[in-house]
Chains A and B, each alone.
Chain A
Amino acid sequence: MAKKLMKGCEAIAEAAIQAGCRYFFGYPITPQNDIPEYMSLRLPQVGGCFLQAESELAAINMVYGAGGAGARVMTSSSSPGISLKQEGISTIAAAEIPCVVVNMMRGGPGLGNIQASQGDYFQAVKGGGHGDYHAIVYAPASIQETVDMMQKAFDKADEYRTPVIILADGLIGQMMEPVELKEAKDLQLPEKPWAATGYTPGGKKPRSVLNSLYIETEDLDELVDRLFERYAVIEKNEKMVECYNTEGAEYILCAYGTVARICKAAIRILGEQGIKCGLVRPITLWPFPSEAVHEALAQESVKEALTVEVSAGQLVEDIRLAANGIKPVQFMGKAGSRIPSAEEIAERILEMKRG
């Protein structure tokens, strides 16, 4: 397919459709409205269904219903709306239902603002909803990467029967870049014998009980053990990370999403001044690529690391856990949607160099 200049939100929506998503349930919130708007027009054209729910709570529970019925289904929202969805995400994780949730992060806490932010890292990566569960969390840095990720997100959701979160900042949603959409040819969706598709006693399909309630301690233990065995497989197989210019670097920047691209610009600026700086960009935030972070920081050449994020400091905690004290990890970032510029990041590294 030829390249097309697309807005991030629209590219996400179209990529989801190419990945076989036919159901979308959502509630309007800025800055991600282009996704439901696009879906409301496109899904009926491909025999799917778009429904504007009465709330984010209802939307995520419709996702539960449709995912449980065996369909590829997604919802999207932005930070305050994602908070409302947490009850449902926890339920869906426990009920082992595949689905994809897009969070186009805006500034918080509370209603915050509507600018790009990275304040929902903890919420996405450390749980968000109650109880012991995880969701796979992807953090794209470009629109092409987002598009490629949508296919992967639906595949992994089905493979592991888990919610998958696309954690993007508002910048990804609003910016335009050339993208190449992969044409979906003879899309084969996996069998889902566990799904509610109608049960006949004595038939091939077992009776579906899609449930998150396990009142007996042993039963709940069994569920959580099963989930965590699966999470161990995910941790083993699904980590994604980009290491850029890290070999022999003096300083390592750590960032995710579009902020990582701004870090690359800072690396360019520093390079012009003869300072070798690298970047570690986690692409999966859960499972977190701790080993890659540690390895980059453990190099003899590396003096210090700097985590850059548009939040008051969230990713930095996982970077420090991964570093495990091997090198100092500094933090640069501000909540309230203040995106640092490449020049500011470069200046901060220069300050660190001056000591």
Chain B
Amino acid sequence: MVERNLFAGFGGQGVLLMGQLLAQAGMMEGKNTTWVPSYGPEMRGGTANCSVTLSDEEIDSPLVTVPTALVAMNRPSLEKFEKIVAPGGSIFVNSSIVDIKVQRTDVKAYYVPCNEIAAQLGNDKVSNMIMLGAYLGQSKCVEIETILEALLEKLGEKKAKLIPLNREALLKGAECVE
């Protein structure tokens, strides 16, 4: 098993966190993982993306140049990275704000209205978790519960009350790709 993922979006959309949680959860499930960030010129508000690799084997290049999955949280990310996705790979599009469709026919496209679902859940901030849920629902590379464990470690016990909301977001996201 090897998953080479590229998560991309605007700074502030929680793109880097999404990748970190996946890398952390992968590690907790005994896999080799790498997480490599790439920032735009500005730390906030610019484009942000990260490469996350999960593998049962030792990971060679930590840079994802031919992703098996692309998560595009905004339109520039889809436009920029659609062409490099591996044939047979997956593209997850945040259809709430991306108003174009995937052009390629040799990849699987999933449209997830992250912001709308987040609004339904009453918290705009979980749109990244909805997308992560969708990615997990399709790739099944780690358990949703492990992601929540990773999140709890990141948040600390004081913010444990946020876990149910995030669980709901992950599950809603996963439902989108079923």
Residues of A within 8 A of B (CB): 3, 5, 171, 174-178, 258, 261-262, 264-265, 267-268, 339, 341-343
- The answer to whether B142 has its CB under 8 Å from any CB of chain A is no
Report which of A177, A339, A343 forms a contact with B66, defined as CB distance below 8 A.
Answer: A343
Interface of A is mostly: helix
Q: Enumerate chain A residues within 8 angstroms of B65, measured Cβ to Cβ.
A: 341-343
Is B176 part of the binding interface, using a Cβ–Cβ cutoff of 8 Å? no
Q: Return 30 A-B CB contacts under 8 Å, by A number.
A: A3-B27, A5-B23, A5-B27, A5-B33, A5-B35, A171-B62, A174-B36, A174-B37, A175-B35, A175-B36, A175-B62, A176-B23, A176-B34, A176-B36, A177-B34, A177-B62, A178-B32, A178-B33, A258-B62, A261-B59, A264-B60, A265-B60, A265-B61, A267-B60, A268-B60, A339-B63, A341-B63, A341-B65, A342-B60, A343-B65
* Distance to closest chain A CB from B85 (angstroms): 13
Q: Is the CB of B63 within 8 A of A177?
A: no
Q: Which residues of chain B (15-61) have a CB below 8 Å from chain A?
A: 20, 23-24, 27, 32-37, 59-61
B interface secondary structure, majority = mixed
For the complex, give the distance between the alpha carbons of A323 and B20 in Å.
42
Q: Considering the chains assembled together, what is the distance between the CA atoms of A3 and B153 in angstroms?
A: 13
* CB proximity of B53 to chain A, nearest CB, Å: 10
CA distance A3 to B28 in the complex (A): 8
Do B27 and A178 touch across chains, with their CB atoms under 8 A apart? yes
Nearest CB of chain B from residue A27's CB, rounded to whole Å:
20
Measured between beta carbons, the chain A residues less than 8 angstroms from B37 are 174-175
* A177 and B61 in contact, given A3-B27, A5-B20, A5-B23 (Cβ under 8 angstroms): no
Q: How far is the CA of A256 from the CA of B171 in the complex (A)?
A: 43
What is the CA–CA distance of A5 and B63 in the complex, to the nearest angstrom? 17
Chain B residue contacts of A339, Cβ below 8 A: 63
Residues on the A chain within 8 Å of B34, using CB:
175-177
